[in-house]
Amino acid sequence: MATDLVPEVVQPAANSSRPATGPRRRRRTHNLWRYRWLYLLLLPGLAYFLLFKYLPMYGLTIAFKDYVPFLGYSGSEWVGLKHFQELFTGPDFGRLMFNTLLLAVLTVVFVFPAPIVVALLLNELRVNVLKRSVQSLVYIPHFLSWTIVASLTYLLFSVDFGVIANWIHGLVGGQKTDYVAQADWFRPLIVLQLLWKQTGWGTIIYLAALAGVDSQLYEAARVDGAGRWRQFWHITLPAIRPTIVVMAILTSGHLMDSGFEQIWLMTTSLNRDVADVFDTFVYYIGITQGSFSYATAVGLFKGVIGVVLIFGSNFLAKRMGQRGLF
């Protein structure tokens, strides 16, 4: 009778250590077929990145060659780091780096915080009609091309028929100032264009983050006697802090991208010394002078700096206790 109470020991099968690939494969196939329409919608995006982002990377090899279009990629002579040495030791590198970094600093200081401030101000509006109207008016300029923005800048700030230029001249008097042509006013005009064109579109992201804040937190704060400033400091800002960190990381990767079209349209013969950046320099060297290898080396250098900035800012964000981008 005692032996009947002893449970039977089941011996493991000889092949039990092998993974059950059959059920897993059937489950994976089932999921692929179940979500087939979603994967089908994913194909155009994958094709775009494959054709226009990854395949063109093979062209970066001409930065290490004396590229001749008639010889092609494989037939051109390999010269190693020759073009990079010319870039770093050339007379234009210091000026290009200074102009690009200065525009990047101005963008971080003035342009990056602007959508956050506008989103916080719009979030405080309680009349929905007024809030939506202001928001629409603010982000409409995003849909205008840089050609239209540059044309409006010339119409407003030129010395001959500029409305704002004549208005400023009427206030301060003296000799009329051509704000568009003078080198001292190039960077302020660039920053003003970025503020007017990009601020409204950036507010959408922060307003979406603010919309996810639980209203009960504000109610509990008011019950505890917290004023508007305390609610803003302890509820609103912590709620959008992860979004600010992610946008800061993404912005850091584009600090070397000053924007070719905007800079090109605002460049004149009088402000070229302060307007030349890496983006316009690539056009001058690569397209107008045919130095494709040298222009590719400049672009590759700019891209490497962007990658380093993204990984560095993401590392700093994690060290400061934030989640980071990856």
Separation between Cα atoms, residue 8 and residue 1, nearest integer Å: 14
pLDDT (0 to 100) of residue 2: 45
pLDDT (0 to 100) of residue 7: 47
Separation between Cα atoms, residue 22 and residue 29, nearest integer Å: 11
Q: Could you give the domains of the chain? A: 101-319 (1.10.3720.10)
Separation between Cα atoms, residue 265 and residue 153, nearest integer Å: 10
Kindly list the distances between the CA atom of residue 283 and the CA atoms of 68, 254, 294, 299, in Å, as whole numbers in the listed order: 18, 18, 11, 10
Residue 114 pLDDT exceeds 50: yes
Per residue in 90-120, is it b (16+ CB within 10 Å) or e — as a string? eeebeebeebbeebbeebeeebbebbbebbb
pLDDT (average), residues 226-246: 85
Convert the pLDDT of each residue in 131-157 to its tens digit.
Answer: 888 888 898 999 999 999 999 998 888
Q: Could you tell me the pLDDT band of residue 19, with boundaries at 50, 70 and 90?
A: low
Q: Could you tell me the pLDDT band of residue 69, with boundaries at 50, 70 and 90?
A: confident
Q: What's the angle, vertex CA 22, arms to CA 21 and CA 25, rounded to 5?
A: 80
Calculate the CA 167 to chain-centre distance.
35
Beta bridge partners of 66: 77
pLDDT (0 to 100) of residue 131: 84
- Kindly write down the DSSP assignment for every residue of 107-165, as one continuous string: IIIIITHHHHHHHHHHHT---HHHHHHHHHHHHGGGGS-HHHHHHHHHHHH-TTT-HHH
Convert the pLDDT of each residue in 195-215 to its tens digit.
Answer: 999 998 889 889 888 888 888
Separation between Cα atoms, residue 312 and residue 306, nearest integer Å: 10
pLDDT (0 to 100) of residue 128: 83
Beta bridge partners of 78: 65
Q: Find the distance separating the first CA and the last CA of the chain, reported in whole Å.
A: 63
pTM of the full structure: 0.81
For residue 67, which amino acid is it?
A: Y
pLDDT (0 to 100) of residue 20: 52
Q: Could you tell me the pLDDT band of residue 21, with boundaries at 50, 70 and 90?
A: low
Per residue in 285-323, is it b (16+ CB within 10 Å) or e — as a string? bbeeeebbbbbbbbbbbbeebbeebbeebbeebeeeebe
Convert the pLDDT of each residue in 270-325 to its tens digit.
Answer: 888 899 999 999 998 888 888 899 999 999 999 899 899 999 998 988 888 888 77
Residue 84 pLDDT exceeds 90: yes
Rg (CA), the chain: 29
Separation between Cα atoms, residue 92 and residue 261, nearest integer Å: 20
